[in-house]
Amino acid sequence: MPRLPRPPGSSTLRPGAVALGRPDPGPDLNSPEGLIRAARDWLGAGDDQRARLALDRALALRPRAAEALLLRGLVDQRRGDLAAAAEWFRRAIRARKDFADAHLNLGSCLIGLGQTEEALRQFGRAVALAPGMALAHLNLAQALLDQGDLGRARSAIDRARALAPDALPILLARARILAAQEDYEAAGAAWEDCVARAPGDVLVLNDAANFLLEDNRVEDSLALYRRAVALAPTSQEVRKNLIRALMTTGALDEAEAEAVGWLGTQGEDPRFRRLLGDVLVRAGRFPEARSAYVAAWDALPEDDNIPLGLTATGKMKSGEALGDRILERWTAQGAAGVVSADIAYAAGKVLDDRQDYDGAFAAFAQANRLKAADHPFDADAHDRFVEAVSTVFTPALFERFAGLGSPSETPVLVVGLPRSGTTLVEQIIASHPQAAGAGELTHVSRFEHSLPWRVGEAGRRGYPACVAGLDGAILDRFTAHYLHELTRIGPKARRVVDKLPNNFLRLGLFALAFPKARIIHCRRDLVDTCLSLYFQSFAGGHEYRHDLVSLGRYARAYLAMMAHWRRVLPLPMLEVDYADVVADQEKASRTMLEFLGLAWDEVVLRFHKREATVATASRWQVRQPIYATSVARWRRYEQHLSPLLLSLEGKKPSKG
């Protein structure tokens, strides 16, 4: 969810640690000192033009007046000319080398100019010169956060907080740093503190709600989004975030009402029309969704995410105007030498629908090259992680923790590689009257990521080594939170399916938390699965899929991980082959229901008619009856897949 930018001057702490007062009607405008004093007052009153004139006169009289140079930089900084402002601040530093305010403001300009390394040096210099200046520590912390240096960022923000414990900007930055460190319990408390201190601040409410939604605290997040909307009913971003949150939680009727209500009261807005399309796709109302997307695209033809959304509404066979329009845009961008990943993915989908397999592969390959540039994947690090998990989760570990965790049999984890049939399996089970589908919950992954902070000293070794520090109280807090969400989703369900595919990496941790739960492992032809991953545009993550060799290595690591769980996992696990479900849906469905202790009900054979939200990339497919066209699909693309096939065998492609 987008954070809302804080308007300039809205913070009690901001770049420019100069105290600006009110205008004094009687300064001496014939001396540099008087002109500087007057300029300071005029800046404080917002009269930048008069301040600039006074400062120019002061500098004409005294060119190396450090304070005048600083204030002159503030004038340019406030009007958005960061390059000019930075030069004024550099001149101020040359005039007075120990001028902490100038170092601080120069650092702020450099952040805006994208020169983070140099900005860090300037903030560090400001801190060294003025260790009691809270703003200097705050800016240093924020720059370190931007750099991903989270440990130093936390130290810097803690020093800022010690100097100004009630300053809201410091508390907000601290909450964001704690969340970035995956110290989710501390971050949650920090966000609650921010909301308590600023209950009427729309920006605080929005950003706190973003965190709470990511932390799976659904009711709390929606309450804050609604408060923010009530305070700022005409704010587009706040309303969009509320709608996206409602979509995430499956409240599609309310999400649709919010989008339609905005369009009815604020006038035609293509971005909300596009958002309405997203809501309708999740609800399975594909013709209406297509109409919404088309209206949005007509108004915003430069937004390539809209045609990408259109491809989720169904196939676009030869001769269909929308498909032609997508291909024309892709071709035009190619001729101009600037292609977006979104339009390349959309073109690939259209060409695949039209059975132009060479053209489709070229488009998908282009999309992945564009994505790979910004989303690198470290296959060696991932292999080491899988090996470490295998080393930690042993029969001896499970025996040591026997008796802990929740006795609940409600959770069912459906795992596997993405695009392996996990959504199909979830929808079949969730169609049963005594079951429910939760979609892709992040509770288990967030528990894994936050575990080093939860276990105290043992957490210094990171995950998975820190599992040794687990105790019953830590597990009980997690299981209570998780079961609360499952109960919200399926109040009367005996089984609730959580189908986040990459939970295959966390089955050991899940087994410690829920020793009586069930696991269903979805398998599909590995090459078909990898090809589908390569062709799919995900909202985030899955960096491994942008290169065929890395994709093959990730798939081999997955096989190794699952082989380990088969040897050591104390939970019952059912293996479900996608091809078997396609070949005989009833037989596969009976097997799954029997495994879960649910009586047979033929309603599960009509899963595609079920009215429920589907939030994954398979949302169009699962609204259709089961079809076999995706089995051995990779054969259509075989001539392009040598790097993947060799990687799956553990071989390196030839450099030629």
- What's the rounded mean pLDDT across residues 382-409? 97
Q: What is the mean pLDDT of residues 500-519?
A: 97
Cβ atoms of 182 and 209 within 8 Å: the answer is no
> Residue 590's pLDDT is what?
97
Cα-Cα-Cα-Cα dihedral sign, residues 140, 145, 148, 150: positive
Task: Say what percent of the chain tops pLDDT 70.
Answer: 92
pLDDT confidence of residue 16: 41
pLDDT bracket for residue 627 (50, 70, 90):
low
> What is the helix (H) or strand (E) element at residue 518, kind and residue range?
strand 518-523
pLDDT at 19 exceeding the cut of 70: no
* Maximum distance among all Cα pairs of the chain, rounded to whole angstroms: 95
As a whole number, the mean pLDDT across the chain is 91
User: In terms of residues, how long is the chain?
Assistant: 656
- pLDDT digits 0-9 by tens, 446-504: 999 999 999 988 788 899 999 999 999 999 999 999 999 999 999 999 999 999 999 99
pLDDT-derived band at 3, boundaries 50, 70, 90: low
**Strand partners of residue 575:** 521
Burial class (CB in 10 A: 0-12, 13-18, 19+), 219: exposed
Q: What is the pLDDT of residue 106?
A: 97
Statement: residue 375 has pLDDT above 90 = no
The SS3 assignment for 535 reads helix
CATH homologous superfamily for 379-648?
A: P-loop containing nucleotide triphosphate hydrolases (3.40.50.300)
Contact call for residues 263 and 269 (beta carbons, < 8 A)? yes
pLDDT digits over 313-362, tens only? 999 999 999 999 999 999 999 999 999 999 999 999 999 999 999 999 99
In the predicted model, what is the mean pLDDT of residues 285-301? Answer: 97
Is residue 364 within 8 Å of 357, Cβ to Cβ? no
Residues 66 and 97: their CA atoms lie apart, in Å, by 10
Flag whether pLDDT at 10 surpasses 50.
Answer: no
Identify the band that residue 626 occupies on the pLDDT scale cut at 50, 70 and 90. low
Which of 614 and 296 is assigned the larger pLDDT? 296
Sequence-separated (6 or more) residues with CB below 8 Å from residue 352: 360, 535
| Residue 431 to residue 586: CA distance in whole angstroms | 13
**pLDDT given for residue 250 in this prediction:** 87
Amino acid at 356: D
Mean pLDDT of 204-231: 95
> What is the residue whose two structure tokens read 């991903």?
148
Q: Any bridge partners for residue 498, and if so which? A: 413
200 pLDDT band, cuts 50/70/90, is very high
pLDDT band at 11; cut points 50, 70, 90: very low
- In this predicted structure, the answer to whether residue 621 has a pLDDT above a threshold of 70 is no
Of 156-170, 414-428, 538-552, which range is least confident?
538-552
* Integer Cα distance of 269 and 299 in angstroms: 9
* Integer angstrom CA distances of residue 304 from 215, 285, 296, 342, 400: 30, 22, 11, 6, 53
Calculate mean pLDDT across residues 427-438. 96
8 Å CB contact between 206 and 241: yes
| pLDDT value for 435 | 97
Residue 309 near residue 303, CB atoms below 8 Å: no
pLDDT at 347: 98
How many helical (H) and strand (E) elements, i.e. helices and strands, does the chain have? Answer: 31, 5
Distance CA 375, CA 372 (A): 5
Helix H or strand E segment including 523: strand 518-523
Arithmetic mean of pLDDT, 412-437: 96
Q: Residue 548: CA atoms inside 13 Å, Cβ hemisphere, count?
A: 22
Contact (CB, 8 A) for 329 and 304: yes
Question: Which amino acid appears at position 523 of this protein?
Answer: R
Torsional sign, CA 84, 90, 92, 95: negative
Q: How far is CA 416 from CA 421, 476, 502, 525, 537, in A?
A: 8, 26, 6, 12, 18
* Residues in contact with 355: Cβ distance below 8 Å, sequence separation at least 6, in sequence order: 636
Strand order in the sheet with 573-577: 435-437, 495-498, 411-415, 518-523, 573-577
SS3 category, 393: coil
Rounded Cα gap, residues 146 and 91, in angstroms: 27
- Match 């596997």 to its residue by tokens: 416
SS3 content of the chain, % helix, strand, coil (to 5): 65, 5, 30
Look at the alpha carbons of 560, 564, 566, 571 in this order and tell me if their dihedral is positive or negative. Answer: negative
What is the average pLDDT across 8-33?
Answer: 51
Contacts of range 48-56, beta carbons closer than 8 Å, 24 or more positions apart: 48/75, 48/78, 48/79, 51/75, 54/29
Residue 619 has pLDDT above 90, yes or no: no
Confidence check: pLDDT of 233 > 60: yes
Residues 174 and 157: their CA atoms lie apart, in Å, by: 6
Q: Spell out the domain ranges in the chain.
A: 311-374, 379-648
Pull the structure tokens for residue 656.
Answer: 């030629």
Spatial contact of 231 and 205, defined as CB atoms under 8 Å apart: yes
Long-range pairs, 162-166, Cβ under 8 A, ≥24: 163/132, 163/133, 163/134, 163/137, 164/13, 164/134, 166/197
Closest among 420, 417, 416, 652 to 548, alpha carbons compared: 652
pLDDT band per the 50, 70, 90 thresholds, residue 171: very high
Contact indicator for 545, 376 with CB cutoff of 8 Å: no
User: pLDDT digits over 112-150, tens only?
Assistant: 999 999 999 999 999 999 999 999 999 999 999 999 999
The answer to whether residues 284 and 616 touch, using CB atoms and an 8 Å cutoff, is no
pLDDT of residue 441: 94
In 301-378, alpha helices (H):
305-310, 321-336, 341-353, 357-374
The number of angstroms, rounded, from the C-alpha of 96 to the middle of its chain's C-alpha atoms is 44
* 178-192, 247-261, 528-542, 616-630: least confidently modelled range: 616-630
Is 29's pLDDT higher than 70?
yes
Residue 632: predicted pLDDT: 79
